[in-house]
Amino acid sequence: MKYLIILFFGIWVSCNSVNAQKDTNGHSKHPSLYILGTIQDGGSPHIGCQKSCCEGLFKNPDPTRKVVSLGVVDHRNQKSYLFEATPDLPSQLKLLKERSNLNQEVPDGIFITHAHIGHYTGLMYLGRESLGSKRVPVYAMPKMKRFLETNGPWSQLVKLNNISIQSIQNEKTIQLTQDLSVIPFTVSHRDEYSETVGFKIIGPNKSVLFIPDIDKWSKWEKDILNEIKAVDLAFLDATFFDGPEINSRNIAEIPHPFVVESIELLKDLPQVEKSKVYFIHFNHTNPLLDTTSPAYKIVIDSGFNMATFGSRFKL
């Protein structure tokens, strides 16, 4: 009997080792997308906030409340990329390093959507006061590129070769590896210092739409319904759930599609299309940050999803 137990245990270990190897190989053959942050630019808790949504977080911070960012890893070609350089860049880069299993502290490229504080200011950590990096590729549209090159302290990053700005163009494909490409596209937003883009991220098996910031879907020359149908996953602007949520600010100063508006606009999509949608870029006041809230239930019951920190999607 003892020998049968030993034999069985040996077979069990062998089978599980094979399965683990298969999982590892499968992981290495397919690019992966990781959610490294889901919060709007100002973070959560938010500076100056006296509401209940922030009160407890100032005393007990939630480590998952990081500003919106995606990490993409091409495991087979041993490359990693970051989408957005947020104020949470140090911890997000460390997480990307862990997920990529690569021995490098910085990615092979950083893609920037626009010049609002939650999307580019993390570049400061690459400078001489911090990492002192060497020629990290930063992919930027023409106005964004010019903004970084001609305004301090960002221009110092260029001058000291901490970053190397890679020019990108609207609707022009960037081939990163044989398995991974990216297409930037302009969207309507508050373009005080730069244009604003979203990105289509294309892997060998799946494609992703990433639009963390846009004014209103009606202001975009494209039809968001058709754009969702053309991809496998869509991470869309969900800054505010509805109007009453921001009664202390002028909405004209911070236009975004309310989640309730997006739900109404997308309500007639087949469920297979709705399930592609993951809302992201939540303001600190957004009730969707509370998974027990009625708002959260409305989104889920309507057939949509919420982006969650740390999630992985195979590309």
| pLDDT per 10-residue tile (average), the chain, 315 residues | 41 36 49 97 89 89 96 97 98 97 96 96 97 97 98 97 98 97 94 94 98 93 97 96 72 78 96 98 95 97 98 97
pLDDT for position 28: 59
Q: Is residue 17 part of a domain?
A: no
Domain range for 143 is 30-314
* Edge-to-edge strand list for the sheet holding 305-306: 174-177, 180-186, 197-202, 207-211, 233-237, 277-280, 305-306
Which has the closest alpha carbon to 72: 125, 34, 106?
Answer: 34
Helix and strand tally (H, E) in the chain? 10, 14
Q: Is residue 15 part of a domain?
A: no
- Mutual angle of helices 259-266 and 294-301, in 10-degree steps: 20
Q: Is residue 18 part of a domain?
A: no
Q: Is residue 264 part of a domain?
A: yes
3-state helix, strand, coil in the chain (%, to 5): 35, 20, 45
> Residue with structure tokens 């990433």?
210
Q: Is residue 134 part of a domain?
A: yes
> Residue with structure tokens 């930027």?
140
Give phi and psi for 133, each to the nearest 5: -70, 170
Q: Is residue 20 part of a domain?
A: no
Domain count within the chain: 1
pLDDT for position 249: 58
pLDDT for position 248: 61
Tokens of 108: 């092979």
Q: Is residue 250 part of a domain?
A: yes
On whether the CB atoms of residues 103 and 130 are closer than 8 A, the answer is no
- CATH code of residue 76: 3.60.15.10
pLDDT for position 251: 63
pLDDT tens-place string over residues 134-170: 999 999 999 999 999 999 999 999 999 999 999 999 9
